[in-house]
Homo-oligomer: A and B are copies of this chain.
Amino acid sequence: MQVKVMKNILRANDMLAEEIREILKQNNVRMFNVLGSPGAGKTAVLEAILPKLQSLGKRVAVIEGDCATSNDADRIAVFNVPVIQINTGSGCHLDANMIRKAAGEFDLSQLDIIFIENVGNLVCPASFDLGEEAKIAVISVTEGDDKPLKYPRIFNESQLVVLNKIDLVPYTNFQRETFYTALESSKAGAVCYEVSCTKEEGFEALINYIK
C-alpha cells in the first residue's frame, strides 16, 4: 500500500516536472535544483554566484525551500532578484507541484535562470524531479569524506557536485582521495568543483558551467 501510493505520487510528480521543463524551454529559462545536507552551504553558494551572474547580464530568480523561516529568502533578496520562499513544515523535500506554483509567480519572459534551493536533506530530494535542467549537489568538507558512499543516490542523480568549505580541510580529517574515490563509485565520471564560500574561492568553473 505504502509503496503503491509512493509510486503513484512519483509518477504524478514526474509528469508535472515534464510540463514545467517544457514551459521553461519555451521561455528560454534554465533551471537548476540545488540539493544538499542542512548547512552544506547551498544558500552561501547562491550568494557567491548571484552577483557574478548578474554582472554577466543574467536575469536570475530563486525558489527557496525550507521546513521553516524565510531566512534564506531574506539572504537572497539582498541581491534584488525575485525570490519565493516555500516552507514545507515537516515535509522533507520540494515537489513539482510546489515548483509549478512558485514558478507561476515569476514573469518567465524576464528571466534567464531559476535556482531552486531544496530542503536541506541528503536523501529525499533525490527522488523528486522538479523540471530542472540539472541537479547540483552541494556537500561540505565537514560532513566527512565518506558521504557519497553512504548517500549514493543524490550524487548519482546530480549532474554536478560542489565541494564546499575547502578552507576547513586542514582542521578536519577529510581526505580528498577518499572523497573522490567514494564519489566515483556513486557516479562514474562525476564532475566536482571545489569552492570556499567564506574565502570566495573556486567559483569560476561553476559560473562557466551555469552561464
Task: Point out residues on A near B: beta carbons under 8 Å.
Answer: 1-2, 5, 9, 37-39, 66-69, 71-72, 90-92, 119-124, 126-127, 140, 142-144, 146-147, 149-153, 165, 167-168, 171-173, 198
Contacts and interface: CB of A to CB of B under 8 A. Distances in A.
B90 A123 contact: yes
A122 B121 contact: yes
Contact of A69 (B37, B90, B120, B150): B150
A19 to B, nearest CB: 20
A151 B9 contact: no
Nearest to A168: B171
Most chain B CB atoms below 10 A, which of A1, A2, A39, A149? A39
16 contacts: A1-B5, A37-B120, A38-B122, A38-B151, A39-B142, A39-B147, A67-B151, A67-B152, A69-B149, A71-B146, A90-B123, A90-B126, A92-B92, A92-B123, A121-B124, A142-B168
A48 B71 CA distance: 34
Contacts of A153: 67, 90
Given A67-B123, A168-B168, A150 B38 contact: yes
